Structure 1
């Protein structure tokens, strides 16, 4: 009897020894340990270990200079994908490539993972894809709006907001005014940020920054809080900000002469009549992101007597003929701020080419690099650097 019980116990020990040994590592400290343990236990136990690991460590996981993303997918045979700026959201060559961003299955579980190398001050905007379906991260509540889409957002430990919540709260806010201006025979709204300094000294004239895709900057990017903070904390001299929107972005931001003429004559003149502005092209800046940067550069190239300054943030210049024209026609007297997002897999090359031409031609410029992607939240973070370049703070 005792011999039989001994044999049964020995058999059970052999059966459950792997789980017993793995239990010693039931609280893996690193993702590598989690992977190792997950291969040594049954799928159900591995599933529990992964869930506990996420709850304990947070998600995405940060290990030195990489982030680890986990995603559970139970149904079907199609592997989930991790899409983000650094892989052009799966469309590196202009159309969706299902091979881009594929995640790796963890042993025999329903969990998949992907790693992304990131510097310690980077921000990554991302989503998961299963077939045609796009999903935010169920384990990360941080989301942002990007061109009307809700995406997950993740920052590495050394990433710093340009202004803390305390700094944003401790300001003397300016105000947003709505104006109406005619274009194409119709009235359309534009928005004007009036700095607090204007109300304190109405005899003082101010320079003007014109921002393309204005509603995007205001609504998705919370631009006003950044403007209030950077002027209050003396990062630049105060200035008016004019925020306009295209009717047809694809056409008007790709070299439309009709839109360009309205912009540099009708819009500029309307603002100069309505507000106490400093006159002259050297006191005007057009700031734009992506195709908005292309429109800004195109306006300056064709009308340097109307605007001499451009902030080109993650400029999307190809496949147009702009760079060929810029190399040939650009002349001294202009100033360009180039904001580069190093995680922008699709458009980074355009920004680098622009910066190279500016250096080669010895045109006044400044290039600033950010560990970020191609979206309005990155552009808003670049605004203070651009403003300090064009309108440096001068004590009064």
Structure 2
């Protein structure tokens, strides 16, 4: 399933992607450890290391070339520049899912080499003499591609004749020829694994998906996101990619989870092509997670509810405050911790939301009904036309000027009176 978790900032959308990913990849573990966050995060990290989960953040500069494929410049040994087609985040992840676990840890080859660890970039082997050998996956994958295409054979790798058949490649001669006793075994193991079964399920997490230009980033692959168009489906489709000129399809086991900050862009403005292909799950501020937290006589859960009700009335529900801003607070804290949250996060966020419309910010904070000026977070700047422009300009119309009142942040009554 493709899904997008959407809601105001601070509601825990990225936090929840861990739960959603585990419910897809290891539902039994997720269910058994539902309340053990540390165990869930550890399992998430394990699956990420195993290549089953990949995380990427969209932004305004993120492109099709970053996500699918594009040209990359490489400097050769002689200093010349060569342009090669390089896979982006999506394509490389799909390739990894297609290949499955390329080689299991503990695999022992006839030549005496043993696989000790595998990362996205390096396959680590233990040599017969006990020392470690890091082999770049880029070289192994390049050799596999050449073998699959029929350009070379495994015999060429064994007999050190690869470079008589391939002149222009990214291969390192000293590695290919230096480890010709183990590379053919590795390639055979990968081929056997690839042919053994279907694609592994995997989760691609796209944080802040609405901050990028989704239509440009996905390009022609937006059509293939639908499960009915995936490889192996009844209506499976593939697209010929513009740089490699090779057909490409999305594996059936690929799940995409996106997060969307509604304060950046309303759900109503989301590309219709994206809306058709994703299930949208709203993540709302959860004041219940703050129940029992009372600081200096301030019920933090109620404080959040009251401010959000006012923001929704003055602006909309997409700009409410998330509970994550307050989640680190405990009943043992004092007004200093509350001050830190309001001074560095809440007030600046309200200024951004209301474009420095101080009157409406005052309404959210209930400043207009506070009897004591020292309890008001936003106060009017003192001054007169005479002071600014001289006695001859008393009739000059001047705008009302406001400023943040530092004194209010240290007063428990300032927070208590937000609730009313």
Give the TM-score normalised by the residue count of structure 2: 0.25
Name which one, 1 or 2, has greater alpha-carbon Rg: 2
Looking at secondary structure, tell me which structure has more strand per residue.
1
Give the TM-score normalised by the residue count of structure 1: 0.26
